[in-house]
Amino acid sequence: MGGFLKTWAGECSAWECDGLGHLNMRHYMTKVMQARQMFFIRAGLHEAFKSNAFSSVRVTDFHIKYLGEARPDNPLFIETGLLSLGEETARLCHMMYHGDGRIAATVVENVEHISLRTKQAFPWPKRFEAAITPFKVEAPQPSKPRNLSYDTIPSKPRETDIKKLTAKHIGSGVFQPFEIGVDGGVTPQAFMGRTTETISHMSDGYPEFLDTDYLASGKSGALLEAQIFIHRPAEAGDAYHFYSGLKAGNAYTRQLVHHIFDVVTGECFFSMIGDGCLFDLKARKLIKASDAQVAALQTNVVEGLRV
């Protein structure tokens, strides 16, 4: 067994933070993108992320856990290891740490090796397989799912399927050129960014957001863990609809499911299931929901909702 490779080091900048005062979910993945690229470059795919590359890697799904808030000016670094390697795929583990060694977040992701001409997966070069072996690792316990499961099989719904449920259409927009990666598709961080842009509209999952006294008292909500599936690459100029619904909730967490659909075809670009909580911005800690808050949640559960 090999070891983790340091693949990124920097800090949490103030402009990367959101209204909660900590690193926005989009920018966790922006940093992980650099870690992913560094990992493959160090393993011998030196040209994979350049504009004239013949082949590259594409993320198909990932799991993220937030374990220690990253706030403005906090130094951070990422170490990356290989969990498994297939003929055309790889499973990576990224461990993000604070400068003092505390874990900030973990990301376990599946990627595929693709031709940039055909956009189809094809085998890794033999030299790569040999070069990446020293970085083979076992998954650290903190990176493993808490309330989610790697056995989840996404349903890949169409927009017409979701319209039959009580999940809400809460976001719309058009993907822009700056959101595109080397592979020509919308990046994972851009999808996550579109999720965070709709948070204030997720009132079925967070009825507390409709209570001005709750917000005025310095309380909000936060994401603890999420599993994301990218079903079909989106391109610049693709218009989307964003749907969100509550799958389950209790005193400690609430589980929401989000889908992003192609406005023209109705196909699903992206699905996400996430565990969130109520959050005290002053004490910087999770809040246990009251019996009344849990009861209010139950009335918003969307029956039949799947990731």
- One-letter amino acid of 240: Y
Each residue's pLDDT tens digit, 13-35 = 999 999 889 999 999 999 999 99
**Is pLDDT above 90 for 1?**
no
Separation CA 108–CA 105 (nearest Å): 10
Residue 121 DSSP label = B
DSSP 165-197: SS-EEEEEEE--GGGB-TTSSB-HHHHHHHHHT
CA distances from 103 to 12, 75, 100, 172, 213 (A): 14, 12, 9, 34, 33
Q: Which domains does the chain have, with CATH numbers?
A: 1-144 (3.10.129.10), 147-307 (3.10.129.10)
Each residue's pLDDT tens digit, 132-151 = 999 999 999 999 999 999 99
Each residue's pLDDT tens digit, 89-100 = 999 999 999 999
Radius of gyration of the chain from Cα atoms? 19
The mean predicted confidence, pLDDT, of the chain is 96
pLDDT tier at 11, thresholds 50, 70, 90: very high
Each residue's pLDDT tens digit, 260-272 = 999 999 999 999 9
Each residue's pLDDT tens digit, 255-305 = 999 999 999 999 999 999 999 999 999 999 999 999 999 999 999 999 999
Each residue's pLDDT tens digit, 63-117 = 999 999 999 999 999 999 999 999 999 999 999 999 999 999 999 999 999 999 9
What integer pLDDT is reported at residue 2 of this predicted model?
64
